[in-house]
Chain A
Amino acid sequence: MILVLEAAVLGVLTGGVYALMASGLTLIFGVMRIINVGHGALVVLGAYLSFVLWRNLNIDPFVSLVVTMPVMFVLGVILQVVFIRPLKADREALSVLVTYALALGIEGLLGFFFTSNYVQITAWYDTASFPIGNFRITYVYIYGFLLCLAILGAIFLMLYRTTFGGAIRATMLNRTAAQLVGIDVDRVSAVAFGIGMATAAAGGVVFGITNTFNPGSHYDLISRLLTIIVLGGLGSLRGAIIAALIMLVIEDITAVLISPVWADFVFFVVLVVVLLVRPQGLFGLRVRERL
């Protein structure tokens, strides 16, 4: 029983990290209606950026976010303007191709600079732990969860308390209508993509501390992130967070209770059941696609 509790706690904490990574992905879909299959590669890129700063300048990975998040934000804006904005017709389908190409390009570049050897960011808090009752929790998961709360909190504040946030929400609801009321949807899209990249950088830091990774690590990551946002409802930030927590808790409990072989299966059963009852996911909006 203690083990189940421990697994649940672990699930919540790691779920926070996945929520951080998935939030960027769902935001991008919500604003631009594109599936960014390169999001996993962007997380890995963020992890490598922090890795370089840590290895060469001895900067603590969480502190390095002060540098990597703005850098990734700017990179995101550039990528959106150069690769995504030109897509006019058939955006949803083409965007999958374009973002996949981006992912492969990033993987190739990273492989060129870093080779495919596994690396990992290490810090005192990746093995130091404190006891709660009968089990121990590693500090890195707590820090990661706090980071997730901080960043997601900031995103929510921006979305619901600022005019620009209102513009983003309007674009997510109905792009054409937003244009009609005078919102610069191109600018909104670029900024949203930049925010998505910045959250990927943050997720990348915790990912890089808790996993050994190499340029090819993004495949497993993107498949998990996509299933999370589908469960949560494409475009819903709240949904991404809840879905991430649900997925990780279910998987971790199944892994310790039954077997790791069943962890993915049990989660997918839950996903299918939810989609049968609510095809738009837990919090997805049923939007009218035509004006």
Chain B
Amino acid sequence: MRRALIATVAGAGLALTACGGGTATATPSPGTPITIGVSVSLTGDFSSDGPALVKGYDLWAEDVNKKGGLLGHPVTMKYVDDLSSTTQVVTNYQNLISSDHVALVFGPYSSLLTKPAATVVDRLGYAFPEPAGGAPSVFALNLHSLFFVQPAAIEDNLVSYTNWLLALPADQRPKTAAYATEDDPFTQPQIDKARKLLEAGGIQTVSYKVYPAETTDFTPLALKVASSNADAVILGTQVPDAIAFVKTFITQHYNPKTLIETAGPDQGAQYSDKLGANTEGIMVPAGWTSGSQAFNNPTFVAEYIAKYGGTAADISADSAEGYSVGQVVEQAATKAGSIDNQKLIDTLHTGTYQTVQGPMGFDSVGRPQGGVGVFVEQWQNGNAVFVYPAAVAAAQPEYPKHDWQ
């Protein structure tokens, strides 16, 4: 009887220590090196975006170490591959935090992976600044520890574009629009919102198709869009389908007056080296462009080219987003005077932070605010530049889009 009692008390004691309010992040003493853990997609559906994120994170780590580290702590980045899998990403963050005891974590690529990861990171008491998870379903998690480091929640990514289209004079405005999107939490909300706005503005929908993200053969879809002969084509794509659609449009000699894709044209060389001169006139929503003068951006671009080679047009927006995450954390740490996760979370909810994507703050569930929004970027003469709104435009929008070559 007595032994059972002792065992129960001991067990209860153990259980209590285990529930000690998440993992207490023991703040390292000044000067000690720290590790920042990230789960990146090096294989799988997002395998071309993971490495771009890594480049941005690495560049930031290098920069911050040149200045003596994050609050004096030299930074080492630790990457684990999540295979673009929603289950692996959870395992990765659990391991990074509970086994590897990293000081901080940064986010993975895509809303699809950020969502499950954010729940786990929040439960373990860490801050989760992330570069690429801005879908409505991510904010619906109501997590106080999540911060989406982009100028606006992605659902509104196409709003600048719809504003521009509807502001065109009535005789130039497109009369019809065709939509096709992956059933991905990043692409579909954008397309649906754009469709609602354009239909309300009088542009008729002649085709609307949702396709599985695992689709490998996009040609029949693209044929369907081409056969609709719509004036405007609005596509919810990632890199492979973005390219496949354009190639089919070229073979079918289908020249819409305007074409915008939610992702793909913002990935620099990965997109342009397969289309060559036919990138001309294609638009994409973008919060960042290599030519923008936002905080430290020219330096970022120059350093990127020095470290990785190529030209400014080759830089993927993913790298800029990764770099921004580092910038935000650096500024928050300086403001809070600490790299303790709880203090960072509290600090990040106040004030404005300067990044290469412009200024931003975060609301209570991590939605960006006070940012300058997302703009319309267009490929012109082999370079992607902002064309709308006029306040940031580096060139006039090319409309109608030039015919394929």
Distance A136 CA – B253 CA, assembled complex (angstroms): 8
List the A side residues contacting B253 at CB < 8 Å: 129, 136
Beta-carbon contact of A224 and B219 below 8 Å? no
Q: Is B223 touching A10 in the complex (CB atoms < 8 A)?
A: yes
What is the CA–CA distance of A136 and B404 in the complex, to the nearest angstrom? Answer: 15
Stretch at the interface among A71-79, A114-122, A189-197: A114-122
Chain A residues, CB < 8 A from B211 = 255, 259-261
Whole-angstrom CA separation of A235 from B64 in the bound complex: 60
Which residues on B sit within 8 Å (CB–CB) of A67?
Answer: none
Q: Are B48 and A118 in contact (CB under 8 A)?
A: yes
Contact assessment for A116 and B274 in the assembled complex, using a CB-CB cutoff below 8 Å: no
- On whether the beta carbons of A117 and B51 are closer than 8 Å, the reply is yes
A122 — which chain B residues lie within 8 A by C-beta? 274, 276
Taking a contact as CB atoms under 8 Å apart, the answer to whether A118 and B240 are in contact is yes
Contact B274 A3, beta carbon cutoff 8 Å = no
Query: Nearest Cβ in chain A — how far from B322, in angstroms?
Result: 16
Q: How far is the CB of A196 from chain B (nearest CB, A)?
A: 21
A162 within 8 Å of B by Cβ? no
Q: Is the CB of A138 within 8 A of B51?
A: no
Residue interface bits B218-234, CB-to-A below 8 A is 1, else 0: 01110110010000000
A224 to B216, CA, bound (A): 10
Bound CA–CA A251/B223 (angstroms): 14
Give A29 to B273 CA distance when docked, in angstroms.
Answer: 39
Quick check: which of A90-98, A208-216, A274-282 contacts chain B, the rest being far away? A208-216
Whether A3 contacts B227 in the complex (CB less than 8 A), given A118-B270, A212-B244, comes out as: yes
Interface size on A, residues (CB 8 A): 39
B209 to chain A, nearest CB (A): 6
Contact A220 B216 (CB under 8 A): yes
- Identify which of B210, B223, B240, B270 contacts A7 (C-beta below 8 A): B223
Contacts of A128 in B (CB 8 A): 251
B166-182 near A? 1/0 per residue, CB < 8 Å: 00000000000000000
Give the interface size bracket for B toward A: 35 or more
* Nearest residue, chain A, Cβ from B49: A116
Is B274 in contact with A212, judged by CB distance below 8 angstroms? Answer: yes
Stretch of B39-47, B91-99, B289-297, B349-357 that contacts chain A: B39-47
On whether the beta carbons of B44 and A216 are closer than 8 Å, the reply is yes
In the complex, what residues of A have CB within 8 A of residue B251's CB? Answer: 127-129, 136, 138
A184 on the B face (CB < 8 A): no
Does residue A6 face the partner (Cβ distance < 8 Å to B)? yes
What is the CB-to-nearest-CB distance from A52 to chain B, in angstroms, rounded to a whole number? Answer: 15
| A126 within 8 A of partner (CB) | yes
Complex-state Cα separation, A220 to B214, whole angstroms: 8
Is the pair B250, A127 in contact by a Cβ cutoff of 8 Å? yes
Q: Choose from A120, A263, A264 the contact partner of B274 (Cβ within 8 Å).
A: A120
List residues of chain B with CB within 8 A of the CB of A105: none
4 closest cross-chain pairs (CB), A and B = A116-B47, A260-B211, A255-B220, A129-B251
A-B contact pairs, 22 of them (CB 8 A): A10-B219, A116-B42, A116-B47, A116-B48, A116-B50, A117-B270, A118-B270, A120-B274, A127-B251, A212-B239, A214-B47, A221-B216, A252-B219, A255-B221, A256-B224, A259-B211, A260-B209, A260-B210, A261-B211, A261-B212, A263-B220, A264-B212
